[in-house]
């Protein structure tokens, strides 16, 4: 049986991810993140990619994440808020948190940065799962 994924829900979930990222890394924890990364306003302006390019590529990765998450929502017949939470949590724990841990383990990034990043990922993934579960 083929899996049908609601593309509008995928687009909405991708936008949700971008919005969470914006608030997480700007007004809520932006100063902390910049400090933990060792960035200054000047160093951010001199990055290889422009802000527009970064946002565009970020949206592409958000679309991929939303589509794959939507695939699992349909495949596992995930329902309700509890189902969205369980799906988001296990994907986060098994893939995102463990992969992101490499920045602390291998790259010498601060533990506080790791916690900040994985917490944001969990919030975003859960809200994306909510959109996808309730808008199949």
pLDDT of residue 2: 86
Which comes out higher in pLDDT, residue 47 or 136?
Answer: 47
Report CA torsion sign: 70, 127, 52, 6.
Answer: positive
Confidence (pTM):
0.94
Q: What percent of the chain has pLDDT over 90?
A: 93
Q: Could you identify the residue written with the tokens 């995928």?
A: 10
Q: Provide DSSP, 79-136.
A: -HHHHHHHHHHHHIIIIIIHHHHHHHHTT---HHHHHHHHHHHHHHHHHHHHHHHHT-
pLDDT in tens, 10-20: 999 999 999 99
Tokens 């199949």 label which residue? 136
Nearest to 96 by CA among 78, 69, 75: 69
Band the pLDDT of 111: cuts 50, 70, 90.
very high
Rg value, the chain, Cα: 16
Average pLDDT in the 101-124 region? 97
The pLDDT value given to residue 95: 97
CA–CA distance, 135 with 4 (Å, rounded to integer) = 12
* Region 86-109 average pLDDT: 97
Residue 1 reports pLDDT greater than 80: no
Place of tokens 């890394």: 25
């Amino acid at each position: 049986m083929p899996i049908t994924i609601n593309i509008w829900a995928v687009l909405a979930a991708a936008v949700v991810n971008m919005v969470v990222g914006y608030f997480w890394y700007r007004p809520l924890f932006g100063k902390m993140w910049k400090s933990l990364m060792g960035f200054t306003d000047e160093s951010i302006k001199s990055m290889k990619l422009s802000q527009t390019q970064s946002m565009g590529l970020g949206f592409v990765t958000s679309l991929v994440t939303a589509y794959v998450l939507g695939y699992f929502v349909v495949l596992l017949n995930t329902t309700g808020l509890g189902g969205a939470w369980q799906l988001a949590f296990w994907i986060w724990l098994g893939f995102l948190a463990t992969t992101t841990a490499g920045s602390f383990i291998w790259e010498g990034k601060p533990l506080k940065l790791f916690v900040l990043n994985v917490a944001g990922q969990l919030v975003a993934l859960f809200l994306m799962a909510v959109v996808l579960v309730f808008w199949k």
